[in-house]
Structure 1
Amino acid sequence: MESVKALKWRYATKKFDAAKILPDDKVKILKKSFNLTATSYGLQPLKLVVVQNKELQQKLMDASYGQNQVGTASHVLVICIEKEVGKAFIENYFKYVKDIRNTPDDILHPFRESLIGDFENKPVDEVRVWATHQAYLVLGTLLTVCAVEEIDSCPMEGFEPSKYDEILGLDEHNLKSVLALPVGYRSQDDFFAELKKVRRPLEETIIEY
């Protein structure tokens, strides 16, 4: 029940304590959690940009419709998708599989070629939608880990991706921003921290056979 208790503790933080900074070990946990998240085929078509530069955070806040969580958080995690997931990207993934697991080529080859063919036949926009779905998987993992580690967070779609991309120079990395997650520690005067969580009753959200 400790995990349930942690999920009850978390909330979408509206006001961070700007004076409190996450220690390096907590940031490292978030980075590792990002990297360990399940993704379709295990391809990880994502990268995480970790922003702690306060000047950059202010610029990102302006591109987030002025939401002050972005400017006052200890760190802002920006979840990005790869613009292209093609033959080279997939071959690189299978190189990791071979190096780490020492899987024989005769086993890897059919799966690798099937994936390459599948992705080469998909329109770019369809691949980006698929990659964005993986970003939401990552967001769910990070929110849960934040709760367990007692790190406050606020998941955000409400920002201008094109401006984030420009501010962070994401075009140079062939990336597009899709989600933001300011993290840190709640302010003691955040009114929302003490409100009871509102959820539909279990009997309305669970179907059992």
Structure 2
Amino acid sequence: MSILDTIRARYTTKHYDSTKAISAEDLRTLREVLRLCPSSVNLQPWHFFEASTREARERLLPAIMDFNRDRVLDASVVFVFAAHKAVTEEYLDKVIGQEVADGRFTREDAAANVDAGRRQFAYMHENQLKDSRVWMAHQTYIAMGFLLLAAAQMGIDATPIEGLYQDKMDEILGLKDTNLATVFSVSLGYRSAGDGNATRPKSRMPLSEVLTVL
């Protein structure tokens, strides 16, 4: 299936078949997709929480708005996306350390230059623009897009969920005294036979409304 065919075929699943589970191999692939997602200046300011058992998904329910609860409980896997709340020296050190360990630089000064550039950009958001929390939360939406596309390519259905109580989810996940905060969740699994949204025509604005060639 071409990439356009995949995008045209995918949709937001409203009802899941709770008897169908994502295979262990496919789950490993989805985890790796999340790990490999791009982010601004490679900051990767996120953490993903996986609920792949019914018991784990039930734990999340108090933080899920009523109309989304079945989409969490009946799915095979739910990922909760959390973003960093503040830029920290410790984490910036960890990122450059990982890049060096992964062999991204052939010269020591190149690593230092990349590190300095990332710090300048991150601290601009933290100290000057004072929007670092919003900026880092935005990065998680890049990861969500990659996950949704990968899942569709694999024949796995998905539902991005912003209809949740972030503070309550933070409490459930033990994030209150950490540098992480919930942004949204994504349910994944296989649609039920009666999911009416699966057969509705896709509706998007025409290209002329959303794109201007300069």
- TM-score, scaled to structure 1: 0.91
| Equivalence map 1:110-149=2 (5 Å) | 110-120=113-123, 122-123=126-127, 126-149=131-154
1:37 maps to amino acid: C
Counterparts in 2 of 1:25 and 1:173: CA distance versus 1, 3 Å:
farther
Q: Is the 8 A contact 1:46 1:135 kept in 2?
A: yes
| Candidates 104, 107, 111, aligned match of 1:104 | 107
CA RMSD of aligned residues (A): 2.0
Measure how far apart 1:168 and its partner are.
1.9
Q: What are the ranges of 5 or more consecutive residues in structure 2 without an aligned counterpart?
A: none
Measure how far apart 1:173 and its partner are.
5.4
1:61 maps to amino acid: L
Q: Is the 8 A contact 2:16 2:74 kept in 1?
A: yes
Counterparts in 2 of 1:171 and 1:114: CA distance versus 1, 3 Å:
same
| 1:203 matched to 2:208 | yes
Q: Is the 8 A contact 1:87 1:120 kept in 2?
A: no
Q: What are the ranges of 5 or more consecutive residues in structure 1 without an aligned counterpart?
A: none
Post-superposition CA distance 1:144-200 (Å, at most 9, x none)? 111111110011111001111111223465321101000000000111111111112
Corresponding position of 2:94: 92
Secondary structure of 1:170's counterpart equals: coil
The 2-side partners of 1:30 and 1:125 are apart by 33
Corresponding position of 2:46: 46
Q: Is the 8 A contact 2:53 2:76 kept in 1?
A: no
The 2-side partners of 1:30 and 1:168 are apart by 21
Q: Is the 8 A contact 2:84 2:137 kept in 1?
A: no
Counterparts in 2 of 1:65 and 1:125: CA distance versus 1, 3 Å:
farther
Corresponding position of 2:73: 71
Q: Is the 8 A contact 1:17 1:186 kept in 2?
A: yes
Corresponding position of 1:183: 188
> What count of residue pairs does the alignment treat as equivalent?
209
| Candidates 185, 193, 198, aligned match of 1:193 | 198
Secondary structure of 1:109's counterpart equals: helix
Q: Percent identity?
A: 29
Q: Is the 8 A contact 2:49 2:80 kept in 1?
A: yes
- TM-score, scaled to structure 2: 0.89
The 2-side partners of 1:48 and 1:103 are apart by 31
Corresponding position of 1:22: 22
Counterparts in 2 of 1:30 and 1:154: CA distance versus 1, 3 Å:
same
Q: Is the 8 A contact 1:73 1:185 kept in 2?
A: yes
Corresponding position of 1:164: 169
Measure how far apart 1:117 and its partner are.
4.7
Secondary structure of 2:161's counterpart equals: coil
Q: Is the 8 A contact 2:16 2:191 kept in 1?
A: yes
1:65 maps to amino acid: M
The 1-side partners of 2:26 and 2:2 are apart by 19
